[in-house]
């Protein structure tokens, strides 16, 4: 819809009238939950359909949580920091990983690690609990029993959240999880895709990524990375572009670790977006690759 432009009022009137005439000739399908589930599953596949249906059928169950998405991370952290860690974990799994990471940065190390462990071991949220959660959030700043529990939390989400945290926080959090369950910590670590993992991508994927990021961002992000990764990047550029990047890299001089990590996180956001769109395939050590 956002890509439609330069329509005249006559064209809009024609489209609306055609829709009205067509609608008047048809009876209501009386769509039940089961009908919608079947149609969406046929169109989108079981996993995507289930995720979409959960969001549709939950109605206002996310209303209070949705309001957090528009808050500054520090304010959101202040709002929920005194709740039970399990409540905090249940709230945070409904936010985007980068926002969850930003909120966690404002917690004490002990609370942060406790919450991350609970996110990693959270298997789902019952509808009644979700409604009560939103009531709590509404009081701090409104539902359907037919819907199955939402598939929230788990190892993959924890890995994505940790990807947005600094290396020091990441090490501490993984250490706390490892004390509780070493195998769980290892599974989370295996699912993490960090900046250095770019070296494991195929050349075509690297080239696609390079087209989406600026040279200045790349120069900072490459500071402190392995020589192998730098060479991987350079060989997927034209000779002239690679030489210019090397010269600029040397001229840049020392950069704060915080700046490097910030640029790497921004590039990883682009990488994940490209992966979600199917433009690249992310592979990590031990994963099976793909063939064309």
Cβ neighbours, 10 Å, residue 94: 21
Model pLDDT for residues 189-211, shown as the tens digit of each residue: 777 777 888 888 889 999 999 99
Q: Which helix H or strand E contains 57, and what residues bound it?
A: helix 46-57
Q: What's the rounded Cα separation, in Å, for the pair 143 and 137?
A: 15
Give 55 or 131, the one with higher predicted confidence. 131
> Which pLDDT band, with edges at 50, 70 and 90, does 53 fall under?
low
If one looks up domain 195-276 in CATH, what number appears?
A: 1.10.220.30
Same fold, 60-191 and 195-276: yes
Model confidence at 244: pLDDT above 70: yes
Model pLDDT for residues 99-115, shown as the tens digit of each residue: 899 899 999 999 999 99
Model confidence at 163: pLDDT above 60: yes
> Measured between alpha carbons, how far is residue 18 from residues 23, 28, 171, 200 in Å?
9, 17, 60, 52
Q: Looking at the domain 60-191, which fold is it?
A: Annexin V; domain 1 (1.10.220)
DSSP-assigned beta bridge partners for residue 150: 125
Residue 221: burial class (beta carbons within 10 Å; 0-12, 13-18, 19+): buried
Q: Among 165, 166, 255, 272, which residue's Cα sits nearest to residue 212?
A: 272
Q: According to the model, what pLDDT value does residue 104 have? A: 93
Q: What's the rounded Cα separation, in Å, for the pair 152 and 111?
A: 20
Mean pLDDT of 141-147: 39
Q: What are the residue boundaries of the structural domains of the chain, listed by start?
A: 60-191, 195-276
Mean pLDDT of 208-218: 90
> Measured between alpha carbons, how far is residue 9 from residues 3, 13, 14, 16, 47 in Å?
17, 6, 9, 10, 40
Model confidence at 289: pLDDT above 60: no
List of E strands, the chain = none
Model confidence at 55: pLDDT above 60: no
């Amino acid at each position: 819809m956002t890509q439609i432009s330069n329509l005249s009022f006559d064209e809009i009137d024609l489209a609306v009238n055609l829709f009205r005439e067509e609608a008047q000739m048809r009876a209501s399908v009386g769509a039940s939950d089961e009908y919608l589930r079947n149609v969406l599953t046929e169109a989108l596949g079981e996993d995507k359909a289930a995720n979409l249906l959960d969001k549709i059928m939950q109605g206002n169950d996310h209303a209070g949580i949705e309001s957090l998405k528009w808050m500054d991370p520090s304010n959101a952290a202040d709002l929920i920091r005194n709740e039970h860690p399990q409540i905090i974990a249940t709230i945070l799994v409904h936010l985007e990983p980068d926002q969850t990471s930003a909120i966690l940065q404002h917690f004490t190390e002990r609370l942060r690690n406790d919450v991350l462990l609970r996110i990693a071991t959270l298997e789902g949220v019952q509808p009644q609990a979700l409604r009560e959660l939103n009531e709590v959030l509404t009081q701090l700043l409104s539902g359907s029993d037919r819907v199955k529990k939402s598939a929230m939390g788990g190892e993959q989400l924890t890995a994505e959240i940790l990807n947005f945290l600094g290396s020091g926080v990441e090490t501490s959090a993984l250490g706390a999880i490892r004390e509780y369950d070493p195998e769980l910590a290892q599974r989370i670590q295996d699912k993490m895709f960090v900046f250095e993992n770019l070296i494991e991508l195929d050349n075509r994927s690297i080239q696609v990524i390079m087209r989406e990021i600026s040279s200045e961002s790349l120069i900072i992000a490459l500071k402190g990375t392995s020589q192998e990764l730098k060479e991987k990047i350079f060989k997927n550029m034209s000779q002239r572009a690679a030489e210019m990047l090397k010269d600029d890299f040397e001229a840049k001089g020392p950069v704060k670790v915080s700046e490097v990590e910030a640029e790497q996180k921004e590039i990883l956001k682009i990488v994940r977006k490209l992966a979600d769109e199917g433009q690249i395939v992310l592979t990590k050590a031990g994963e099976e690759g793909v063939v064309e």
